[in-house]
Structure formats: C-alpha cells, structure tokens
A and B are shown apart, each in its own frame.
Chain A
Amino acid sequence: MIERIEALRAQGQDAVAAASTSEALEELRVRYLGRKAELPQMLRGVAQLPPDERGAVGRAANQARQALEALIDARAGELGAGELETQLREDTVDVTLPGAPVQPVGRMHVLTATQRLLEDIFLGLGFTVLEGPEVESVHYNFDALNHTPTHPARARTDTFYIERPQGPQPGSPEELVLRTHTSPMQIRAMEAHPPPLYVVIPGRVYRPDSDATHTPQFHQVEGLAVDEDITLADLKGTLLAFARATFGETREVRLRPHFFPFTEPSVEVDVSCFHCEGKGFLRDGTRCYLCKGEGWLEVLGAGEVDPNVYAYVPTTDHNAPGYDPEKVRGFAWGLGVERAAMLMYGVPDLRLLYANDLRFLEQFG
C-alpha cells in the first residue's frame, strides 16, 4: 500500500511538473485528487484496513494528497499568472481612438460668462449683487436720476416707451419705459437699504439704436457705493482693481472729465490698452488697431453720486436714517458687458453676440 501511495505521489509530481496549461492542471487535479481518484479512494478505505496498518497508510496517503494539492495550487498560480498576462496582452486597445460614447459639451454664452466674471470681481471687492426690473417708470429711469424734464434722453427717439391705452400722460413719472440703463436700481437700492451701501447691478438695458456699434438691447453692470467718506480717489482705486482683474495686472486707469446727469463730478474711465501695453503702437512700429494708437481704451462712465440724487430717495423704515447729501457720499459707474466681452475675447462685431450661431457660441463659456 505504502509503495503504491509513494508511486502515485511520484507519478503525480511528475505530471504536475509537466502540465503546461491551467486546463491540463485541472485535469490532473481531478485525476489524482477527484472523488473517484485512487488516492482519495485509499483514504476512504483506510477504515477497512487491519488496525495496525491504518495509521501508517492513512498518514502516508494524507501526506501524499496534501503534497499533491499544494503542488497543483502552486503550479496553478504560476500558470495562471502567465496566462492572464497573455490574455491581457491580447486585450490591448488603441487608446488613441476617441472616447465613446461622445459626451456632448455645452457652453455658457459669452455675455453670461463675462457678466459672471464681472460680478465675481466686485463680489471679491465686497459688493453684493442686486437685480431689478427691465421695465421701469420714468420716475426711476429719469426723474430720480436728476434728468431735467427736458433732457433729450427722455425723447421717444432715445427711449422705448411702453404703450398703455389708459395709461398716464406723456411726461408723467408713472409712464413706463424699457430702462435705458441699470442706474434706476441705484435709487431702488437706496430706498431698500440704509447706508453704507456697496452693490453692483447687472442687467439688460434698451435704447432705440441699431447699427454696427449699437444694438437696441445690451447689458450693463452698474456699481454703487455710498458711505460716509467716499471719494473720487476711491472710485479710481475700485475701477483700477476691476481693470487689472479683467484686462491684466499691469493695467492702469485714467479718469477723464465727462458729463452724466446723475454724477458730479462725472468721468469717463479709460484702461491702458492691453494689446500694445498702452504705447499706442506695436513692436513692429504699426499703430495699435485696438486702441487706434491712443494707448487707452474707453471702458465705462462713472462719477461721484450727484447730491440731487439723494434727495430723490425718501427716508423710510427700510433705509433709516436715509441719505443726507451732507452726511453721505458715494460713487457710481455703469459698465458695458458687451464692450468688456468684445475687448476680452477680441470679438470684432457686436452683432455676433446676438446671432447665436453655434460656431460662435462654442468658442466661449
């Protein structure tokens, strides 16, 4: 018996050593260790042996079985690793093919992206964002912003009026217009909140102009800061921060005196040209097309809040103690989103912004 066991063990060892595939090895496992194989049969038959043989045979058979088992497992590990390697090699794909399925990518409109950027800049400077109605009363759009009753901007040639069959008489403060600027929200903001006030107001505005450089609707980001000690120098610093955040950190701003009914002093704000670094001409000596040789780009209008404007803000429970021009001062600006977007991205024609051609939209946002 013992001899047979040793023979089986030796035979098995040789066979396992010779097996070259996992498949062949599994056959050997069945042949030597399976239910009907000789070695397990012997183990089961140990009980029928004379008692003095049982111990030795049982031990030998058991050892042989364990040894073969261990051998087969080890060999299986060896073979498996090699086979997996081969199989993985065969599974190689062309990684340079496109991703699939294609994930469609969307885009935010360049005006939205630009407006967000501007909002974020002023959020970072401590301003909050307010929004307001696009149809405004003449009171908010003109009267409260210190436009004289005969100011030309009120004319039907310069402002869209809303038709109201039983509405107020022309010239009434209750007449409705499409707001011509985001500035009416200056008044609404002051009506709703006491000073100090630091807000920006993005939004769509309307004027009856339509040509290469005007669309009848466009977007502005209004700014308003009112506190007890605001100066024109603070306006300059705030807009310098905006200019550098938007157009590059080496930008400078210059304030040029101008006129707006609701600011005094009023200024136009130029930013040094980022295309020619404010020189007006390029390295090859040609005139800079962007600033037309001026070295400066006109970007927005601004000024110190005209004291008359505060007088239009009634003191209420919401904004107590109210806005007293001897006690508060402020600055305001109105910035064109289209202009900023066109400058930032080099968009040559305003009308592209509203054509919504996919070949344009896919380039931004």
Chain B
Amino acid sequence: MRVPLTWLREYCDPALDVHGIEERLTMTGTKVEAIHHHGVHELEHFVVGHVLRAERHPDADRLTVCEVDLGAARPEGPATIVCGAPNVAAGQDVAVARPGSVMPDGTKLKKAKLRGVASEGMILAEDELAIGSDHNGIMVLGELLPNAQLTRGGALAEVLPIATEVLELEVTPNRPDCLGVYGVARELHAATGASLTPAPWNEDPGSGGPLEGAEAEVRVECPELCPRFTARVFHDVTIAPSPPWLKARLMAAGQRPINNVVDITNYAMLLSGQPLHAFDLARIAGRRLVVRRAHDGEQVQTLDGQTRTLDAEMIVIEDGEGPTSIAGLMGGARSEVQPDTSSVLMEVATWHGPAIHRASWALGLRSEASSRFEKGLQPEQCLHAQAIATRLMIELCGASVMPGTIDIGGEGPPPLSLPLRESRVQDILGVPIPRVRQAEILNSLDFATAEVPGGLDVSVPPLRRSDVTREADLIEEVARIDGLEKLPATLPKRRNAYGLLTPTQRLRRRAIDALVGRGCYEAVGWTFAAPSIADRLQLPAEDERRRPVVIENPLSEEQSQLRTMLLGSLLDVARHNVAHGEPDLRLFEHGTVFRWKDDKLNEHRSLAVLLCGKLAPSDWKNHSAASDPPAADLFVAKGLLEALADTLRVSDLVFASEPQPFLHPGRSASVSLGATPIGWLGELHPLVAQTWELPGAACFEIDLDRFLAHASRPDYLDLIGYPPLRQDLAVVLPEQVPAAQVLDVVRAAAGKLLADVRVFDVYSGPQVGEGRRSLALSLAFRASDRTLSDEDVTPVRERIIAALGDLGGELRG
C-alpha cells in the first residue's frame, strides 16, 4: 500500500525523518518496502506568480508571452514566460516553475527560447506537478484556492501539496486494519509514542436509524457473503473536479482523480481501508438493490465494457433491470455517477473475503477495493467510511445528506476479553516486559486493559477481531511494539537432542558422492512432466507409466503431470547440453517420482544416470583411434551401477535381458535385487534418441529407496589371516547361455569354499567353434579357519566342471 507521508503526518507526526519512520514501522511489523518521492524537487524554484500582461506570441498563434510578477523571488522585475495554455490571461495568480526546477519525472527546467522569445520558466498545469491529471489549461490559483493567501513570489509549496515522500508498505494478511492511512497512523503512534489525532470518522454528519423518505430499498439475499450492507442518500450533489489537496493526495497514493464524488469514495477508502461505491440514485432502476449470489453461467457486462461469466460463489448487486455490478470487484455502467448526477446512493458493504479473493482471480479483476475486501474487513468499518464520505460530500459537493442509514447486518460481535498473564510474556519471549509497559503498548493499539491478579484483562477492538483471539496473539502485539531487537540470542536446552543423519540419509549422500567421484554431474530437474512424454518414450497403451498423477490446476499442459520416472528430465537436460555444444555427458539425478498404486498415491526416490558420447576427454598420451576414451554403452552404465552397489555394499544385484519400450531391444536389462525388480538398464532406442535429438545414450534408473535399504552394514570378517587360493578356468559354452547363469551354476556347485567368481575374458572365434564362446573365469577359494591347499580345492573344482558340463560346457585348453 502507498501512504503519502504528508497525509500520514496529519494523524501522527513523530519527530523523525522519513528514514526514522521507515525504521520504526519496519521493525514493528509494517515493512516499508520502498520510499518513493512523489511530485517535484528543488521546491525553492516553485513560486506563486501574478500575470501582469499576456500577449499573443508574434510568431506562434498558440503561444502567449506573459509578463509575470514574481515579487521578491525576482526583485529585478517581472519575468517573461512563454505559455502554451489557452486559458492564461492577465490578472491571474498562477503557479510558476523557474529555471532550476526539477519536475516530477526528473527533468530539470532551463531557460529556453520559444520561437525566438526567451522564456524564464513555465506556468504550470496540475498534471505537470503530478497533483492532478488535467492538462487542459494552467491552474488559476485564485479560483482553485479561494481561501488561500497568495503572495507574489511566495513559495508554491505553501499553498499546494507539490511534493511528498510516499511509503510503500507491505501489509500482512492478518492486518487489513492497516490498509488505510489512519490504521498505519495508529501503528506509527504505537511504534513511536507520538500522539495520535482522534479517528477521522469520529465526527459523523450523517445519522443512523431508518433512512428517511423511503427513497431506496435494499435486500440482502446472501448474508453469509455480505455480513453488512450500508447505504446513505445524498441530494443536491454538484459533480465537479475535486479541490487540489484531494487530487494531490489521490495522485500521491496512486489513484487517478475522476470527479469529486468518485474521488471522495477513493479518499475515504484510502483513509479508512474500507471501499465505497457511489450509485447515481436516479439511475438505479426501481430504486431498489438486491444483493444475491450469481447464477451459474450468468453473464454481466462490467464497467470496462466486457462481458463476464459468473458462478454461484460470486455476488451480484442488481436493481429493477438486473445486475448492475459484481460485488466487491466492479461497478456497472448503468448506475455510474455521471456529470449530471444530482442524487447519490453511497454504498458501503462488508463482503466475505475469500469469496472476493476467489472471484477476483477467477475473473481476472483486481482493484484497490477487491484487494482490501479479500483480506476480510470488519463490519464496523462501513460506518467509518460513511462518516468520512458524508463529511466530504457536504463539503465538496454541496450535498445534503438524508437522515438515516440503510444498515443490513449491523456491527460485528461484541469485543472479546482475553487474559494476559504477565509471566507468560517472559516464558514466550525469553525476556520480561513489565505489566505497565504491556498495558501501555496494548492501549496505544486501541486495546482496553484492566489490571487483574497476575496480569491484565484485555478487550480486543473490533478492527482486530479476526487477528487477536488468544493470549499468544496479545503477546505478539506486546513483543513487536516493545521491540524484538531487544531480545538476546540464546540457544535452546536441546534436551535429549543429538544431531545425526539416519543410515539411509548417509547412504544417499554416499551414493551421490560415488557418482560425482566417477565424473557424473548432478542435475536437478522438474517434478512436472508433459502428457506427451508417454508417446515420446514409446510407452504402450497398457504401460502403467501412462497413468501418472495429474495436477488439477497446472500452470500449463506441459507441466500438468508428476513424473513417473526421472529419465524424461535427464533426456531434456541432455538435449539442452548437446544443443549447446556439449556432446559428452555424464548426468545423474535423484528425486521423487509419483504413481498411483491401486487408489493410493505412491512416491519414492529414484536415481537415474544418463551417459552420452565419450566418457572422458581424449588425452595426449593415448591419441590413436584405437585407444580413444571409451564411449557410453550398456556395459559402461552397468559398470557404474555395479560400482555404486559395491560402494554401498548392496549385494544381490541381478541383471536379466528384458526389453523396455524406450530402450534398444537387444541392449536392455531389468535390474533386480534378488527377486525384487528395482529398475532397468540399457541403451536408448534410436528412435527415442532421435526424438530428443541425441546421438544415443546409455542409462539406468533404479528405485533408490529400495536400493539403499539393501545396503549392508560393514561387519568385521577375517580376510587377512588365511589368504585365498586363486585359480582360473576357461570353459567353452553355447553362446546363448548368459554369463550370469554360468556364474550361478558355478556358485551353486562350489558351495561354501568359493569366495568369489568373475568373468575376466570372453572369446568367440574359429578356435571354439560356431555358436559357442569361451568364458574365462577367475575363482577365489577361501576358508575361515585354515589356508586352503590344492587338494582341498580339487574336488570343488571337479564339481564345478561337472556342473558346467551339464550346461553344455567343456573345459578349454
């Protein structure tokens, strides 16, 4: 909210400059986001002048050459000023900007020659001073300021509000009472101790009771959305421009002056926080207003000429001819105040905040009024605004107010009384605040207090009704005004507390470190996925990954689903980097993936790796084509996954040939822990690679939670006391027998003594015959209680050879 400082100081004027005020407001909870300067600079150059003579410019029809008496400001005699305004004339008192003036937009005025005539400044129109928006002519001060003492050469700032600082405030949602200048003044009063004038609504020229004359009738059909509706009637209204002081305040607060009646509604809103709406009484069909819920699909034409479609959670105000406005959001053209308006119905109502918030977003209609209503205003504020407006309608529009007020709903519930224990303040804050000071603070915020044993009884003012409902809320009030900067910095006792990551958290860090240590870059992708990803990954219709978790209100179609796997985001990252000239990629990501399992939403952490291009840069030592760094393929990805398993002591990792729709059919595998599938591994299907504009890639993705759950805790084994016995074995087998099966058979045949077996060479060629290949196995035997001899191992070796024979294998060499 924008609060002109000169306006604020009218109610509370502490002996502080703008930065002092900024500091006090910010540190007590009303953050000053920015300080703006509104209006002109270098005020000493702006003076009142008197036009002695005004003659047409010899060479320009539209320009007038004026002799302007600037009194003491120019003792050597009148200044010559060329003026382009049509209404300038001899005998006028005018506003003059002399050379050296700095205008609101920052331009500095200099002496200038206009069509050959030297001009010493400018005679000003209101828009040039940013105190109004009219540019039809210069300001004739005698007419605008009939009661002002105008001295030739006198400072213009004495008679017109031509410059003010403006505070831009962040008002938190619990403080709609601070959405008006007077509410902010009360905060400033509490924060500084400077005195506060009585509320500007304390004196109300209008009156309560039934409206006299039965000139208008109001019915509220949805009191749950409209807790209070008030209206007053004014006659003998003269529509005219507002006086300069009013225009200037609105301009400084960021509102454009329209005419006196509309300006009064805006002014009263800015001061009290409560929006108002002025109807031309004569244009209200049937002089009858009905407040009701809109019908679903009901269409209303608003002031801006657009047709809006409403629903039953929105509120319309209608007259005898149908809807005239959308409550809280926008008035209708039909009953708007016009230049010929002579009778006004001033409506001030309380609307249900969330309903206004929702409607405002749904219809894309936001205004100063709606942003106040949506915070939830208190019914009492209606009459605050009525009182301010009534006074100004009489003063500025010559209006007479009809006795009485239409008032449906009335005031809110009576004030709440809350106990505040003196000791509880210290318990919560950690420092004591004396009871007297507590009472002083609360009183300055308009709370009534009474001493009771152990503390205070506190009565909550109506404007704070929704925010302050408990002792804790009172303590906050006391704490923020007394000053949080006074709090010491202490540490809690931390009873029973110790800081330690869980084993899973530590393992997850280790997994990331292992991949990083092996040259991988971690990406952090989007949880959101596009529906098109299923097609791009060639998922068949029955694939469960085609039934993702869907966001009901996504930002866009492209971000409307939650990812079921990380591969998509890694592919996106790969495409981005390949397109930016980085063909060699080692990427990984870990993050949450989401799926429906029956009717339950399942989320778990996934880990995916994508390798693309060369695994390392070429180097000067090995530059021949044959020794180029290896390129990414299934086995490199598998090696990485195996290394990860080894790092975390995850045993029982099983790979089996198994297709995935997005992988090369001959180069894809399932990854399991024992019999539990946890993911896949393979090379990207060329068509999928093409979709992402990649030359190809090797990837894997696993359920990280399950993987980590399988990590074993280290436990000491004596591997040193009795060294292992190592033997090699080469066996020729039909080539369709998978290596994993061979190893399984060897392990099963060998029994306990076999500590390790691995494939260290693979050969196929003429020496082993068509359709066959040779696997070279390295075997390690170990016993925990003795050093093994060849004799110990010979029967084991024979069992292994026999078992391999059953697979169709024969020993080689």
Residues of A whose CB lies within 8 Å of any CB of B are 97-109, 111-112, 116, 119, 122-129, 131, 133-135, 150-152, 155-157, 160-163, 166, 176, 178, 196, 198, 204, 206, 208, 210, 216-217, 225, 227-234, 236-238, 240-241, 253-259, 264-268, 304, 306-308, 329, 331, 353-359, 361-362, 365
Decide if B430 touches A234 in the complex (CB within 8 Å). Answer: yes
Q: Bound state CA distance, A308 and B473, in angstroms? A: 11
Decide if A106 touches B515 in the complex (CB within 8 Å). Answer: yes
Task: List 10 contacting pairs A-B, 8 Å CB cutoff, sorted by A.
Answer: A100-B622, A126-B497, A135-B603, A178-B527, A227-B494, A237-B491, A238-B492, A354-B526, A357-B580, A358-B582
User: Cβ of B516: which chain A residues have Cβ within 8 Å of it?
Assistant: 106-108, 365
> Which of B46-54, B171-179, B328-336 contacts the other chain?
B171-179
Decide if A227 touches B487 in the complex (CB within 8 Å). Answer: no
Decide if B429 touches A233 in the complex (CB within 8 Å). Answer: yes
Query: B519 contacts which of A106, A156, A163 (Cβ < 8 Å)?
Result: A106
- Taken residue by residue from 741 to 774, chain B's Cβ proximity to chain A (1 for < 8 Å, 0 otherwise) reads as 0000000000000000000000000000000000
Decide if A255 touches B487 in the complex (CB within 8 Å). Answer: yes
Decide if B551 touches A163 in the complex (CB within 8 Å). Answer: yes
| Chain B 579-625 residues near chain A, CB threshold 8 A | 580, 582, 585-587, 591-592, 594, 599, 601, 603, 615-622
Decide if A236 touches B488 in the complex (CB within 8 Å). Answer: yes
Tell yes or no: B785 within 8 A of A by CB. Answer: no
Closest 8 pairs between A and B when the two form their complex, measured CB to CB: A104-B519, A233-B430, A231-B430, A257-B29, A150-B354, A257-B480, A123-B499, A259-B172
Q: Bound state CA distance, A264 and B555, in angstroms? A: 33
User: Cβ of B500: which chain A residues have Cβ within 8 Å of it?
Assistant: 123, 128
Q: Interface of chain B, helix or strand or loop or mixed?
A: loop
User: Cβ of B522: which chain A residues have Cβ within 8 Å of it?
Assistant: 106-109, 112, 361, 365
User: Cβ of A106: which chain B residues have Cβ within 8 Å of it?
Assistant: 515-522, 586
User: Cβ of A100: which chain B residues have Cβ within 8 Å of it?
Assistant: 619-622
User: Cβ of A259: which chain B residues have Cβ within 8 Å of it?
Assistant: 29, 172-175
Q: Bound state CA distance, A101 and B576, in angstroms? A: 28
User: Cβ of A307: which chain B residues have Cβ within 8 Å of it?
Assistant: 470, 472
- Closest chain-B Cβ to A262's Cβ sits at a distance in Å of 12
User: Cβ of B491: which chain A residues have Cβ within 8 Å of it?
Assistant: 125, 234, 237-238, 241
Q: A104-B616, A227-B493, A357-B576 are in contact. Are A232 and B29 (CB under 8 A)?
A: no
- Closest chain-A Cβ to B637's Cβ sits at a distance in Å of 15
Tell yes or no: B358 within 8 A of A by CB. Answer: yes
Starting from the known contacts A106-B522, A163-B551, A259-B29, 10 additional A-B residue pairs (CB-CB under 8 Å) come to A104-B616, A106-B586, A123-B500, A126-B499, A151-B354, A225-B492, A233-B490, A237-B491, A256-B31, A329-B428
Q: A108-B522, A233-B430, A265-B479 are in contact. Are A162 and B552 (CB under 8 A)?
A: yes
Q: Bound state CA distance, A21 and B495, in angstroms? A: 80
Tell yes or no: B554 within 8 A of A by CB. Answer: yes
Query: B620 contacts which of A97, A107, A208, A256 (Cβ < 8 Å)?
Result: A97
Tell yes or no: B361 within 8 A of A by CB. Answer: yes
- Taken residue by residue from 418 to 433, chain B's Cβ proximity to chain A (1 for < 8 Å, 0 otherwise) reads as 0000000001111100
The residue of chain A having its C-beta at the shortest distance from the C-beta of B582 within the complex is A358
Decide if B577 touches A358 in the complex (CB within 8 Å). Answer: yes
Decide if A150 touches B553 in the complex (CB within 8 Å). Answer: no
- Closest chain-B Cβ to A29's Cβ sits at a distance in Å of 40
Residues of B whose CB lies within 8 Å of any CB of A are 26-29, 31, 172-175, 352-354, 357-358, 361, 374, 376, 427-431, 470, 472-473, 475-476, 479-480, 484-485, 487-502, 505, 509, 512-513, 515-528, 549-555, 559, 562, 573, 576-577, 580, 582, 585-587, 591-592, 594, 599, 601, 603, 615-622, 629
Q: Bound state CA distance, A358 and B353, in angstroms? A: 47
Decide if B629 touches A135 in the complex (CB within 8 Å). Answer: no
Q: Bound state CA distance, A233 and B783, in angstroms? A: 62
- Closest chain-B Cβ to A165's Cβ sits at a distance in Å of 10
Query: A161 contacts which of B31, B357, B376, B553 (Cβ < 8 Å)?
Result: B553
- Closest chain-B Cβ to A154's Cβ sits at a distance in Å of 9
- Closest chain-A Cβ to B460's Cβ sits at a distance in Å of 15
User: Cβ of B599: which chain A residues have Cβ within 8 Å of it?
Assistant: 166
- Closest chain-A Cβ to B705's Cβ sits at a distance in Å of 11
Q: A106-B515, A237-B490, A264-B473 are in contact. Are A135 and B549 (CB under 8 A)?
A: yes
User: Cβ of A105: which chain B residues have Cβ within 8 Å of it?
Assistant: 519
The residue of chain B having its C-beta at the shortest distance from the C-beta of A226 within the complex is B492
- Closest chain-B Cβ to A35's Cβ sits at a distance in Å of 38
Q: Bound state CA distance, A97 and B573, in angstroms? A: 33
Q: Bound state CA distance, A277 and B576, in angstroms? A: 39
- Closest chain-A Cβ to B626's Cβ sits at a distance in Å of 14
Q: Bound state CA distance, A206 and B502, in angstroms? A: 26
Decide if A108 touches B512 in the complex (CB within 8 Å). Answer: yes
User: Cβ of B429: which chain A residues have Cβ within 8 Å of it?
Assistant: 231-233
- Closest chain-A Cβ to B168's Cβ sits at a distance in Å of 13
Q: A101-B619, A135-B603 are in contact. Are A208 and B553 (CB under 8 A)?
A: yes
Q: Bound state CA distance, A229 and B427, in angstroms? A: 7
Q: Bound state CA distance, A123 and B497, in angstroms? A: 10
User: Cβ of B622: which chain A residues have Cβ within 8 Å of it?
Assistant: 100-101
- Closest chain-A Cβ to B454's Cβ sits at a distance in Å of 15
Q: Bound state CA distance, A282 and B470, in angstroms? A: 45
Decide if A204 touches B527 in the complex (CB within 8 Å). Answer: yes
Q: A106-B522, A362-B521 are in contact. Are A128 and B498 (CB under 8 A)?
A: yes
User: Cβ of A107: which chain B residues have Cβ within 8 Å of it?
Assistant: 516, 521-522
- Closest chain-A Cβ to B709's Cβ sits at a distance in Å of 14
Decide if B603 touches A233 in the complex (CB within 8 Å). Answer: no
Decide if B492 touches A358 in the complex (CB within 8 Å). Answer: no
User: Cβ of B619: which chain A residues have Cβ within 8 Å of it?
Assistant: 98-102
Decide if A232 touches B505 in the complex (CB within 8 Å). Answer: no
Q: Bound state CA distance, A238 and B618, in angstroms? A: 50
The residue of chain A having its C-beta at the shortest distance from the C-beta of B361 within the complex is A157
Q: A102-B616, A160-B551, A233-B487 are in contact. Are A152 and B492 (CB under 8 A)?
A: no
Decide if A156 touches B552 in the complex (CB within 8 Å). Answer: yes
Q: Bound state CA distance, A231 and B354, in angstroms? A: 34
Decide if B494 touches A126 in the complex (CB within 8 Å). Answer: yes
